[in-house]
Structure 1
C-alpha cells in the first residue's frame, strides 16, 4: 500500500501527523493509535475502510514519525490535536481509537460531539482496578504471549521508535484518565470492540464500560487479543461498518 507524505496538524506548539488514504467522498474514518504506536498499527485495517470512505490516520506527537515535543502530553492535550483535525475535515467522522487512543477519542468526542457520527473504541483502557504501571506491565506481558509473531514485531518496532522514555512518561496520564466517566457523559453512539481473549481490556471491565454508555454496543472478536485490528482486520472492519450501537434501557 502506497503511503504518501503526511500533513502536519499544529496546536499549542506541538505537531501531529495525518496520513490520508482512500477517496475524497464518503464518511471519513479517523484512526488514533495507542501509546507507543503509530501508523503501522493500522496498516492492515486501512485498505478495508478505504473502500468505503476517506481514511485519516494520525501519529501523535512523539510517536511514529511525528516530531517529539519538549513536554510530555496528556490524554487531554492529545485530544485537543484530534479536535483540531476534526474541524479541518469539516463533516462528521467515524472516530476510531485503539488502547490509549480510545481515551483520546472519547475525550475528543466529549468536546465536539457534532463532529463525530459515531465512535469506535478498540481494546479500551484502563480498568480502574489496574491503574498501576505494575498491573499494566503484567497485562502487556500476557498479551505478548497471545499475539502472533507478526503483531509483536509490528508493536515492538513502534515502541523502539518512540523509545522507553517517551512511553513511560506518557503512561501516567493514561492510567489517570477516567474512561468510565467519559463514557457515561458521551453524546455519540459508541461501539466497544475487543478481542475475546484480550488480557488488557478484559471482559468484566469491558462489560462495565459498555453498561455506562448512553448509546453503545460491545462486540468481541473470537480468538483475538489486544491488537485485534492487526490480527483480525476483516472482522474489525465489518464491525465498524455494520454494528449498530443501541440506547441503554
Structure 2
C-alpha cells in the first residue's frame, strides 16, 4: 500500500514539518528500506514481494527524493526525521536495510540504537578522498544527463537493452534486466530530486569510522560495483569488526535488480529474529 505521512520531526534545528511517501506491505517483524541518493523507494521493487512473505516491509522515499518533500538542512537531520517517521507509523525499533546513502543512514540509525539490526548494501562513507571525488563526479554527471534528456528520448532509449545500458549501467551490473518503465521513472527521479545537491554537499565531510555495537550488522557489496568500489567493504569491516561482510557476485552498486533472490536472502537473514546465528551459518566472510 502506497501512502504519504505528514508529521513534525524534532531535530537539532528545531521542529521540522515533513511529508514522506512510502509503501507498506507484508506481515512479520518490520523492515525499513532506505534507497540511495537520487533514487526512490521503487529501487526496492525487485525484492519487496520476496521480503513481504516474512517481514512487514516499509519502503520510504527519503526527504528530498521521490515523492517526499524536501527537508531544510538536508543530510544532518535525516535520521531524526526517519526516527520520527517510524514513531508516527508505530514501528518500534524496526530492522533497517539501506543502499548507498541509505546504507550510511541505516548504519547511523544502528549506532544510535534506533533499530534492531542493520543491513547495508554498498554503504556510503567508507571512501578515501579520491574515491569520494570520483563517486561524486560520476553522480553529478548522471544528474546532468538525466536533466538534459527530453522525456521522449528517455522513453525511446528505455525500450531497448542498449538504451537501458546507456542510462543505467553505472549502477546496475545487468542493466538490460531493468524494465523500461522503471528506467524512465528512476531517470525522472534523479532529474527532479530536490535534495540531490544539498545532500551531495553535506556528504563531502562524511566518513564513517565508528563501530555499531549491540546489534547485528551485515555489510554486503556487489563485486561489480562501479560507483563505490568493493574494496571499501574491507574498510567497513575494519571499522565494524563484528559485522558480517558479504560478497554479492555479479551485482553492481544497486544490487536489488541484479540478483533479487540473493539480495532478498541477505536482507532476510540480516533482519532475522535469530539474525546473529543466521549470519554465522548462511554466509562466510569473504575478501572483496
TM-score (norm 2): 0.72
Task: Give the Å deviation of 1:185.
Answer: 4.3
Q: 1:63 aligns with which of 62, 65, 68?
A: 65
Match of 2:40 among 22, 34, 38: 38
Is 1:109 equivalent to 2:110 in the alignment?
yes
Deviation at 1:104, TM superposition (A): 1.2
C-alpha change, 1:200 and 1:9, in structure 2 (3 Å) is farther
Q: Assess if the C-alpha contact under 8 Å between 1:8 and 1:18 holds in 2.
A: no
The offset of 1:137, in angstroms, is 2.3
Contact 1:80–1:108 at 8 Å: present in 2 too?
no
- Give SS of 2:124's match: coil
| Residue in structure 2 matched with residue 200 of structure 1 by the alignment | 227
Aligned equivalent of 2:240: 213
Unaligned runs of 5+ in 1: none
1:186-237: per-residue Cα shift (whole Å, max 9, x none)?
4321100111111223222211211221421111111111110122111101
What is the TM-score with the length of structure 1 in the denominator? 0.82
From 16, 37, 56, the equivalent of 1:54 is 56
Q: Which runs of 5+ in 2 are unaligned?
A: 10-15, 143-168, 271-277
CA deviation map 1:2-25 (0-9, x unaligned): x432333431233333321113xx
Alignment-derived partner of residue 258 in structure 2: 231
Task: Give distance in 1, aligned partners of 2:65 and 2:92.
Answer: 26
Contact 1:229 1:236 in 2 (8 A): yes
Alpha-carbon shift at residue 28 of structure 1 (Å): 0.7
Distance between the aligned counterparts of 1:214 and 1:87, measured in 2?
30
The structure-2 alpha-carbon separation of the partners of 1:39 and 1:9, relative to structure 1 and needing over 3 Å to count, comes to farther
Question: Does 2:158 align with 1:159?
Answer: no
Q: Is the 8 A contact 1:16 1:59 kept in 2?
A: yes
Matched, 1:240 2:267: yes
- Distance in 2, Cα, partners of 1:82 & 1:107: 11
